[in-house]
Amino acid sequence: MAPKRVVQLSLKTPTHAVCVVGVEAHVDIHSDVPKGANSFRVSGSSEVDVFMVYNRTRVTEPIGKARWPLDTDADMVVSVGTASKELKDFKVRVSYFGEQEDQALGRSVLYLTGVAISLEVDTGRTGKVKRSQGDKKTWRWGPEGYGAILLVNCDRDNHRSAEPDLTHSWLMSLADLQDMSPMLLSCNGPDKLFDSHKLVLNVPFSDSKRVRVFRARGGNSLSDYKQVLGPQCLSYEVERQPGEQEIKFYVEGLTFPDADFLGLVSLSVSLVDPGTLPEVILFTDTVGFRMAPWIMTPNTQPPEELYVCSVMDTHGSNEKFLEDMSYLTLKANCKLTICPQVENRNDRWIQDEMEFGYIEAPHKSFPVVFDSPRNRGLKDFPYKRILGPDFGYVTREIPLPGPSSLDSFGNLDVSPPVTVGGMEYPLGRILIGSSFPKSGGRQMARAVRNFLKAQQVQAPVELYSDWLSVGHVDEFLTFVPTSDQKGFRMLLASPSACLKLFQEKKEEGYGEAAQFDGLKHQAKRSINEMLADRHLQRDNLHAQKCIDWNRNVLKRELGLAESDIVDIPQLFFLKNFYAEAFFPDMVNMVVLGKYLGIPKPYGPIINGRCCLEEKVQSLLEPLGLHCIFIDDYLSYHELQGEIHCGTNVRRKPFPFKWWNMVP
């Protein structure tokens, strides 16, 4: 927008003014008036629009050659519809008249130079910059919304650099331009006008650490792109060449939304007249951007790549587990990436180390890995091996005393898209575990929670996971895709379902069938023994109460019905007041489309089949899912983790565009 300008007329000398196309200028017709004048008439060039602003209840608009009375509060406003070819080539004349005279008592002449100035970005979210007549400064959510979008330039396009592109104040690669949003400055008018006036690009101080702007000079060399705005650089006097009517810039996002940053930034261009002291700003055009949020992908999104670690234990390597993962990815038509021991330093918990997501603008999208603050053996893997061309990286550091188990990303999940009481969550809702409803206890670090909440598009839900020894939400819940109208089911670990199953098997005469049958390193427990174990019964009553509390929260916050939930048989036991899985935790599975890699539970063998596997298959295979049970006992379960903990999946982004939602 432009400040209100008032142009003063003079009877003695012509007045000169610059008029920006489409911007109104008020003309003072009352300050210098001939003696005896009581009316006036206005005429002007065809390129100039002249109109009067007045109170219709007090003033009657003149008809034909009649004149406007001077003794009213009518104001004159002028605007131009096109840029001038020469200085002062548009003209407005005001003639003043007395009571009885047809001859003008005096005339004021206003010479105008029209100039077209605008800053254009992709406000329409089409992937291309188009001239906009609407509001470019405001950002609106929804399918009818508008406003430009910036990507945080957090990938590394240049292999010679070890750091993300956003850490450099200079362009490292021409490919880097694709990660930025184009911005065009239109500046059409006589060259002589720009010799005596300045075009100044500005960024507010509060936004200067959030963005950089590069000036494009039209070549194919890195030196043709120069940073002109950004940290420590708040303004830039535009260098315009004679005849140049369009100047291209690229805008780079530097920071994700967070607790101290709503995600909105603005840039402006001003036409400045330096011929006065102080300098006069004749016109300012402002554009707004929103930083694209980091978005998680749920199990219902198709898998693209499975990550798993090669490790060595006292009993040997996990080579058989890796073979099982290879078979699973082959069935799911998914890429397999094995992190070697030299890179993971025998840290197998790759789900705890990182979470895959993505960022998206209308012109570009790429995956971004969120590195957890746990910082164990895998701490360098996301930064050194995943960060690369069109693969971004983000992390959040936390203060001393450092991370707890709940800061690992096995404690971070996201639901499929849901609708809750008429409120749509087309990208699902993030789920994090905490000590709630307990007072005190372990929580995910505030820095991570604040970051997740600030993204706005996947409103987080806090669950109660501090009842578990490790304390992760993936120990008692997961989601699987289905081909029916609902599109998914939520799976919950269920001690009551397991005890009910064992009771049924006992009543059928299989009470001596044993848990852990087939395991060499674990003592067998018969169904009769487990059902008679008061401590085990008590521990699982407690576990079921904790899961039921979460069940009610999930039903309320995700809008789920009981029919949307599948109870997966599972037992726990308490150790130092915290729960651990009694046998391999089947909900801690890896989901690759319709193929499920499920921890082999080693349940009681009845009629040649594991009754736990048989029960899970009966629950899930009618939904179109394929259950593949995988032995993870020694390499994962005995270390208080399972298959989901030891794998990580990069998935396809949502087809839904985040800017079309209304948070």
- Catalytic residue numbers? 352, 472, 474, 645
Q: Which two tokens stand for residue 383?
A: 């930064």
The terminus-to-terminus CA distance of the chain in angstroms comes to 28
d(CA 33, CA 335): 82
3-state secondary structure at position 554: helix
Q: What are phi and psi of 291, to 5 degrees?
A: -70, 130
AA identity, residue 57:
T
Residues contacting 460, CB < 8 A, separation 6+: 429, 430, 431, 432, 449, 452, 453
SS (H, E, C) 30-51: CCCCCCCCCEEEEEECCCEEEE
* Short-list 95, 111, 93, CA closest to 103: 95
Q: Which two tokens stand for residue 328?
A: 């699973």
The DSSP annotation for 334-382 comes to: -EEEEEPHHHHTT---HHHHEEEEEEEETTEEEEEEEE-TT-STTTTHI
Residue 58 CA to chain centroid, in angstroms?
Answer: 54
Q: Which two tokens stand for residue 111?
A: 């010479």
d(CA 131, CA 3): 22
d(CA 473, CA 431): 8
Contact yes or no for 396/451 (Cβ under 8 A): yes
Which ranges constitute the DSSP H helices of 610-656? Answer: 611-620
AA identity, residue 469:
S
Pairing label, strands 595-599, 590-592: antiparallel
Contact yes or no for 471/465 (Cβ under 8 A): yes
Residue 593 CA to chain centroid, in angstroms?
Answer: 25
